[in-house]
Structure 1
Amino acid sequence: MGTFVIEGGHQLKGKIQPQGAKNEALQILCAVLLTPEQVTINNIPDIVDVNKLIALLKKLGVKINKIGSGSYTFKADEVNLKYLESAEFKEDGRGLRGSIMIVGPLLARFGKGYIPKPGGDKIGRRRLDTHFEGFINLGAKFRYNREDYFYGVEAEKLKGTYMLLDEASVTGTANIVMAAVLAEGTTTIYNAACEPYLQQLCKMLNRMGAKITGVGSNMLTIEGVDSLGGTEHRMLPDMIEIGSWIGLAAMTKSELTITNVSWDDLGQIPNVFRKLGITVEKQGDDIHIPAHTDGYEIQSYIDGSILTVADAPWPGFTPDLLSIVLVVATQARGSVLVHQKMFESRLFFVDKLIDMGAKIILCDPHRATVIGHDFKSTLKATTMTSPDIRAGVSLLIAALSAKGTSTIHNIEQIDRGYENIDERLRAIGAKITRVEGN
């Protein structure tokens, strides 16, 4: 297992460009299975989770060519369905949570889709019910082998229907949309997720010949078509990475410019960081963060009560940035309550921050109160282990702001979501070294 060694307490300076969006990539890549024609995708992030999915598609028989940095062509004209029933697939699919999204396209085009229980972050329960209930509503038969945790859906022909999702699941909505585009008749999905990445998927499918309306709302209407064609698509920048760099700039009192951020797709993110007292300036399509040499002060509500930052389905604040908010608050003036509603284990990394000297009260698995230091005492360097992607980056930001040398183990978790993060941080002045494990 790899390790980062970080010498903290240094100001950073310069420009940093966000990678392509991880969570968009996992949806878009699965959509290539919907057509035998060539699909070209640009701005694909070079990260572990995405590369695992590309390898999985290759084993499924998709012809894949790299045509440039972050650009690939995909052609699924000879899909190997036998691979889905192999022991190799059970092992490959289990290692990646995003593999669940191959099921919808396979079901739509070939009448069957299988998946082992996927892995991913250890952040609590992440149900798959929404996905499979959607497929069943479209007329698929569901089966589940409890002995080896293997799921399957089969249908001779999917039929459009009305459905109300039990939760506005992003991956669930994406999977059902990909199944419904080739179904017979009209499908209406209410309580659909409406994240920018899902909007990107719908726009791409429409360019391929799908008929999806209501894009950007929580009610999608999909008129089924007989077949889809090829297209070219470009990923949005990763909004989670953008939020991470905003937090990094504030914590290290650094002047940073985050380039080409697609401001229109950032939703609440700039506003939430502004509520923490961070200056977030719009410069064209860039974000400029000036050096916060005098620190930053958390706003209170109008009645003077403590600020609460909570996650919610889009257009609410994304849960993936709550761990960044929590770390940033440790050096603010004032206090904030962080309420993580969606995942019950995502706040458990705060014990590492408490070890570093942060003032955090973990109220329960979902809520933490942070009392900021206002830089009057810095966080102290320590040795820690990354439990998941987002907590890992939060700990990395804490280490970059701390006095002394910190060590972070299990950095494979960070590599799952952030492309060449150590190289890119060194380019703006960070003292970070990657040490490969045995």
Structure 2
Amino acid sequence: MGTFIIEGGHQLKGDIQPQGAKNEALQILCAVLLTDQPVEINNVPDIIDVNKLIDLLNHLGVKVTKNGPESYTFQADKVDLDFLQSEEYKTLGRGLRGSIMLVGPLLARFGKGYIPRPGGDKIGRRRLDTHFEGFIKLGAKFRYNREEYFYGVEADELNGAYMLLDEASVTGTANIVMAAVLAKGATTIYNAACEPYLQQLCNMLVRMGAKIDGIGSNLLKIEGVKKLKGTTHTILPDMIEIGSWIGLAAMTRSEITIKNVKYDELGVIPATFRKLGITIERQGDDIFIPAHNDGYEIQNYIDGSILTIADAPWPGFTPDLLSIVLVVATQARGSVLIHQKMFESRLFFVDKLIDMGAKIILCDPHRASVIGHDFKSKLKATTMTSPDIRAGISLLIAALSAKGTSTIHNIEQIDRGYQNIDTRLRRIGAKITRLGNDKS
């Protein structure tokens, strides 16, 4: 188990470049299975979850060529379908939440898709019903081995269908879209997720020869085609990492420029941080955060009532940044209610912040009330363990702002979503040391 040792209380300064988007990469990598032709993917983040998926594709027989530090070419012309029934596949698949999105492409192209119950963050129930209900409507037969927690779908032929999704699941929508592009006839998906990363997937599939209308909306119409071709695709910068750096700059009162952010794809993220009183300056396609030496003040609603920040499907505020917002609020002037609607266990990390001196009332598994210190009382260093990716980065930000030296264990959770984070933070002045694993 790896560990970070963090000497907090230092102002940082400099430029930081966001990595490629983790959540987009997991979708795009699965989509290479839809064609036997080469697919080049650029801006691929070097993080544990993505590397695990690339390794899994390699085990499936996909040819993987590394063109450079963040560029790969994949060719799925000789997929080993027998591997899907192996114990090794079951073991590898369990270790990665994103492995569920292998099922749609495998089903569409080969008529069968299997997956063990995926692992990933321990943030509450993350059901798979939306995925499999969509496959069933396209004509697949579903089976589930309860003893091995092993899912399977099979079909001699997929046929287009109308479906109203029970939730706007991003991975569920992506999986169904990847199955439908090779189905016979027309598919209509209503209440589809429409995140920029899903738009990226759809636009990539169109370049491969798919016919998809309504990209960017919650109503997708797909006309199935017989075959897809290869393409080249570049992954967007990671909006969650961009939000993390905004929060880091505010909490450490640092002057930081976040480079090449694809600002127009960030939705309400900048506006949400501005509601916390954070100054965000757009400079071309960069974001400049000045040093908040006088602190930052949370805006109330027009009628004077306390601000609530809640997550919602796109174009609402992403749940992956609520933990960052919560940490940033601990040093603001004013109060805010954080409402995590989509996952019931994501706020449980606040006990670590309370140990550090934060004023937080955990109302229930979904809501936390935060009363800011206005930097009049610094958070205190402590020893903690990262429970998941987003809580982990939030605790790291808290430690970098705290007085004294903190220790964070289980940093593999952070490495799952953030590329060489300690190296990149040291470049802008952070005092952070890695112990116990070989990441650098």
Distance 1:248 1:298 in 2: 17
> Cα deviation per residue 1:239-291 (whole Å; 9 max; x = unaligned)?
00000000000000000000000011100000000000000100000000000
Q: Name 1:158's counterpart in structure 2.
A: 158
> Is it true that 1:436 corresponds to 2:439 in the alignment?
no
SS of residue paired to 1:368: strand
Q: How does 1:130-141 map to 2 (within 5 A)?
A: 130-141=130-141
How far the C-alpha of 1:218 sits from its partner, in A, is: 0.1
> Cα deviation per residue 1:277-312 (whole Å; 9 max; x = unaligned)?
000100000000000000000000000000000000
Q: Name 1:180's counterpart in structure 2.
A: 180
Q: Name 1:235's counterpart in structure 2.
A: 235
Distance 2:436 2:199 in 1: 38
Q: How does 1:212-361 map to 2 (within 5 A)?
A: 212-361=212-361
Distance 1:86 1:248 in 2: 44
Distance 1:147 1:290 in 2: 55
How far the C-alpha of 1:144 sits from its partner, in A, is: 0.1
Distance 2:50 2:437 in 1: 22
Distance 1:272 1:264 in 2: 15
Distance 1:151 1:253 in 2: 48
> Cα deviation per residue 1:40-97 (whole Å; 9 max; x = unaligned)?
0000000000000000000000000000111000000000000000011010100000
SS of residue paired to 1:233: strand
Q: Name 2:389's counterpart in structure 1.
A: 389
How far the C-alpha of 1:386 sits from its partner, in A, is: 0.1
Q: Name 1:205's counterpart in structure 2.
A: 205
Q: Name 1:116's counterpart in structure 2.
A: 116
| Counterpart AA for 1:250 | A
Distance 2:56 2:89 in 1: 8
Distance 1:303 1:313 in 2: 26
> Is it true that 1:9 corresponds to 2:32 in the alignment?
no
> Cα deviation per residue 1:155-174 (whole Å; 9 max; x = unaligned)?
00000010000000000000
> Is it true that 1:170 corresponds to 2:188 in the alignment?
no
Per the normalisation by structure 2, the TM-score is 0.99
> Is it true that 1:402 corresponds to 2:397 in the alignment?
no
SS of residue paired to 2:153: strand
| Counterpart AA for 2:371 | I
> Is it true that 1:366 corresponds to 2:366 in the alignment?
yes
How far the C-alpha of 1:437 sits from its partner, in A, is: 5.7
Distance 1:407 1:183 in 2: 51
How far the C-alpha of 1:401 sits from its partner, in A, is: 0.1
SS of residue paired to 1:99: helix
> Cα deviation per residue 1:366-411 (whole Å; 9 max; x = unaligned)?
0000000000000000000000000000000000000000000000
Count of aligned residue pairs for this structure pair: 438
Q: Tell me, which stretches of 5 or more residues in structure 2 are unaligned?
A: none
Q: How does 1:55-134 map to 2 (within 5 A)?
A: 55-134=55-134
> Cα deviation per residue 1:152-210 (whole Å; 9 max; x = unaligned)?
00000000010000000000000000000000000000000000000000000000000
Distance 2:67 2:194 in 1: 31
Distance 1:87 1:345 in 2: 31
Distance 1:410 1:367 in 2: 25
Distance 2:403 2:34 in 1: 52
Q: Name 2:378's counterpart in structure 1.
A: 378
Distance 2:435 2:110 in 1: 45
Distance 1:294 1:158 in 2: 60
Distance 1:404 1:118 in 2: 38
Distance 1:53 1:268 in 2: 30
| Counterpart AA for 1:416 | R
Distance 1:127 1:112 in 2: 21
Distance 2:435 2:64 in 1: 32
- Runs of 4+ in structure 1 deviating by more than 4 angstroms, as ranges, are none
Distance 1:87 1:29 in 2: 22
Distance 1:158 1:280 in 2: 48
Per the normalisation by structure 1, the TM-score is 1.00
Q: Name 2:50's counterpart in structure 1.
A: 50
Distance 1:377 1:113 in 2: 54
How far the C-alpha of 1:121 sits from its partner, in A, is: 0.1
Distance 1:177 1:377 in 2: 50
SS of residue paired to 1:172: helix
Distance 2:90 2:39 in 1: 26
Distance 1:341 1:21 in 2: 23
Distance 2:148 2:226 in 1: 35
| Counterpart AA for 2:204 | M
> Cα deviation per residue 1:399-435 (whole Å; 9 max; x = unaligned)?
0000000000000000000000000000000000000
| Counterpart AA for 1:256 | I
Q: Tell me, which stretches of 5 or more residues in structure 1 are unaligned?
A: none
Distance 2:297 2:324 in 1: 16
| Counterpart AA for 1:409 | H
Q: Percent identity?
A: 83
SS of residue paired to 2:312: coil
| Counterpart AA for 2:316 | G
Q: Name 1:41's counterpart in structure 2.
A: 41
How far the C-alpha of 1:39 sits from its partner, in A, is: 0.2
Aligned CA-pair RMSD: 0.6
